[in-house]
Amino acid sequence: MSLKSANCVETNKHELVVEVDGKTFTDAVNSVYRKEVKKISIPGFRKGKAPKAIIEKMYGEGVFYDDAIENIYPTALADAVEEAKLDVVAVDNVSVEEVGKDGLTFKAVVVVKPEVEISDYEGIQVTPKSTEVTEELVNEEIDKQRDKNSRLVTVEDRPAQDGDITVIDFEGFVDGEPFEGGKAENFNLTLGSGQFIPGFEEQIVGKNTGDEFTIKVTFPEEYQVDELAGKESEFKIKLHEIKAKELPELDNDFVMDVSDKETVEEYKAQVADELAEKLQKESDADVKKQLMAKLCGLLKGEIPEAMYDNKVNDMMREFDMRLRSQGLDMNTYLQYMGMDAEAVKNSYKPEAEKRVKLRLALEKIAQQQGFTDVSDEDLEAEYSRLADTYKMDIDKVKAAIPADELKKDIAVEKAMDFVKESAIANN
């Protein structure tokens, strides 16, 4: 097998002409014959015993050619791509030029990774989120914990207010007629939750236990039930009960119940430390997000659509694996969500484009900054980190991830670190 010629035919596309010698092609044909002869019946021969020459005479000399070509061209093309030193991302088309006992010649148009340019990535300006731990933030975190440990109590000495849980009977009418799904008894409705259509919950605020009243609301124009969309309606309501959350007191007993601390002061200090760590992580993540967006904007080059498609397919496979780990599969999920595969792919495309652009940008930066020369020590350290992360034997990790691929990932990470370290914060 050999590469006869390689030519750039348009941006990011090369045409390769590949030759497969007669012996290699004949061996491929013979391999197909040995596999297919078992299925072939020829008069005068037992099934599966007909000589190759007889079959070719009856069905034509090229009876096994198509399968032989299918079997042989992937390896031949891979060898040709390596010889041409191309970074192929997709095969556009393959066509047979010549085929016979003397060998096979085929033409392949391949899509290659684009040549891109990037500059001005040092000193990118970013705006970090505040990491200041205020007393207000600490109190908010503590109130969340108090809320988790709250209990519901019946309120009898005041009207209903936002945040209360009301127990109501209701029946809805449009044009004086009740409508399907518009009636319920002893329904628990949290006021201010937005569970019901706009205006409904607000009109219960201020009412007392035992009150019977009528409210008027208009269904939104985009309401999911067409017959009700945009219609004015009346609801007859009876308020049975008002319940409110009763939060525990912030005292030492509460602290010992929810933490390993003994005093309110110690607990507040712990919450402050946790908040500081949380806010720093959020700020770092947001800075990284800003940098990634700006790197994508700085990238120059014509990126082939095939790279986006490949990334979308990768994301689809990852999603399918996650579904399977939860006992589902893609088809079941699509049926449940009322979607098709194409709709899911389209939803992934914007993120796929970002990932492709970012990877190309960081690869170029890694090349420009000399990060592509990854040391054996760095490689081993990364294999060890992955083994620890996934709780796998390091030899299994090495078997799963080729060293050349991991070196590329390491170089890309170094490039990202370089961009982050050089970034300028606008406070």
Cβ–Cβ < 8 Å for 268, 50: no
Q: How far apart are the first and last CA of the chain?
A: 62
Q: How confident is the model at residue 427 (pLDDT cuts 50, 70, 90)?
A: confident
Mean pLDDT of the region 126-140: 96
Give the per-residue pLDDT at 331.
85
Q: How confident is the model at residue 253 (pLDDT cuts 50, 70, 90)?
A: very high
Q: Which two tokens stand for residue 254?
A: 């509460």
Angle, alpha carbons 115-118-120 (nearest 5°):
170
Model pLDDT, residue 293? 97
pLDDT tens for 261-289 read 999 999 999 999 999 999 999 999 999 99
- Report the mean per-residue pLDDT for the chain: 94
| pLDDT classification of 48: cutoffs 50, 70, 90 | confident
Which residues fall within 8 angstroms of residue 173, CB to CB, at 6 or more apart? 179, 182, 233, 234, 235, 236
Which residues fall within 8 angstroms of residue 115, CB to CB, at 6 or more apart?
301
Would you place residue 249 in the very low, low, confident or very high pLDDT band (cuts 50, 70, 90)?
very high
Crossing angle of helices 22-36 and 52-59, in 10° steps, is: 90
Percent of the chain residues topping a pLDDT of 70: 100
pLDDT in tens, 286-313: 999 999 999 999 999 999 999 999 999 9
Per-residue pLDDT, averaged over 96-116, amounts to 95
In whole angstroms, give the CA distance from residue 218 to residue 127.
Answer: 43
**What is the pLDDT, as a whole number, of residue 420?**
96
Instruction: Reply yes or no on whether the pLDDT at 1 is more than 70.
Output: no
Question: Residue 35 has what pLDDT?
Answer: 92
| Segment 209-238, tens digit of pLDDT | 999 999 999 999 888 888 898 999 999 999
CB 199 within 8 A of CB 177: no
Kindly tell me if the per-residue pLDDT of 388 is higher than 70. Answer: yes
Can you tell me the mean pLDDT for 195-211? 94
Helix (H), strand (E) at residue 323: helix 305-325
Does residue 2 carry a pLDDT above 90? no
Question: Model confidence over 139-198: pLDDT tens digits?
Answer: 999 999 999 999 999 999 999 999 999 999 999 999 999 998 899 999 999 999 999 999
Percent of the chain at pLDDT above 90? 83
Q: Delineate the domains of the chain, giving CATH numbers in brackets.
A: 2-112 (3.30.70.1050), 151-246 (3.10.50.40), 264-425 (1.10.3120.10)
328: pLDDT confidence band, cut at 50, 70 and 90?
Answer: confident
The CA distance from 295 to 293, in Å, is 6
* Residue 200 pLDDT > 90: yes
Q: What is the CA radius of gyration of the chain?
A: 34
Among the ranges given (107-111, 152-156, 340-344), the one the predictor scored with the smallest mean pLDDT? 340-344
